[in-house]
Amino acid sequence: MPSAVATTSLFSPLEMGPYTLPNRVVMAPLTRNRARTGFVPWELNAEYYAQRSSAGFIVSEATQISQQGQGYPNTPGIYTAEQVAGWKLVTQAVHAKGGHIFLQLWHVGAVSHSSFQPAGQMPVSPSGVPFHDGSVMTADGRIVPYERPHALEIPEIQDIVADFRRGAENALAAGFDGVEVHGANGYLLEQFLMGHSNLRTDAYGGSIENRARLLLQVVDTVIEVWGADRVGVRLSPWGRGFSGETDVVPVYSYVLRELDARKLAYLHLIEPHVREGSAPIPEEARSPLVTFRPLYPGVIVTAGGYKRETAIAVVENGLADAVAFGRIFIANPDLPRRLMENAPLNPYDRSTFYGGNEHGYTDYPALEE
């Protein structure tokens, strides 16, 4: 189904909410674990984002809305005055170069460890079910088994909605151009959507409508702060959280219709990564844009291992309006230019993705260098 937004190419302008974006090459949210003490962004982060300000727009790295929402070391927050001041350095640097940047609002839920939590409490989840049988990182970087999380009570759920609202308000104060609600990758909002992690029998569990209630409440409270046309939502049908789920299409069909009614700035859909030897998945999982595009005629940003040729094609055929790039944007600060000119790409260094200093962060050269 063609997009409601006229598309010509990956390199043509895009009307998105109140903004006219210079191209459709989006910088995906990328956890880099380089916040300072207090989970505060600083000058190095500002330089990193400013280098990439030629993107159509930037989605910041996932940013926890509270201490409870954190699950990895040295990830930035948006719940203290110091964090807001740190993010102002970033937004000012991006805007000085003519860029646009949205903040991704994040709560990891059960994908955490008690070492991150206030007073060493257990992480939280819909039903007290561990995320899966794998392992999680502690605050000091050790890898340990998942703990059994605390099942949220309804007043605690409402506290989390209020934390999302505070995060949205703080993002506005920090000078962002909008916010993206992180409802993907097996984190808290997706944990409520998933039948195997949400075993509740109250208003937040059971039916699809109930399982989607928290996501939609969060979106609505963020809209109250920003207006719908400056809010995006990221989702990951058939991602790691939904592995083995049988009602993916009904769940996301309901969610997408509800989001479409809200007239958001954009919907950010992650393509599933199908690995060799993994369990069989339904055919519709291999082409989620084909499955879901008819349900969402607004702006869709897609992500998931795109190359130049596949990104150009998905925009030109109208299945998506923009494409988010991750690893190659880390290594190529001038990625839109390189893609447009079909110039060679710097290779990325995985060993520098998480934590560290400027090496592998702000020292990748642009073309003219």
> 162 by DSSP, 3-state: which?
helix
d(CA 319, CA 2): 7
- A 10 A CB-CB count for 341 gives 11
Q: Token pair 């990891």 is at which residue?
A: 108
CA Rg value for the chain: 19
Catalytic residue status for 19:
no
Residue environment code for 17-52, b if the CB has 16+ CB neighbours within 10 A, otherwise e:
bebebbbbbbbbbbbbbbbbeebbbbebbbbbbbbb
41 neighbors 85 (Cβ within 8 angstroms): no
d(CA 302, CA 272): 11
Q: Which amino acid is at 261?
A: A
| Catalytic hit among 48, 72, 146, 187 | 187
> Which residues form the catalytic set?
187
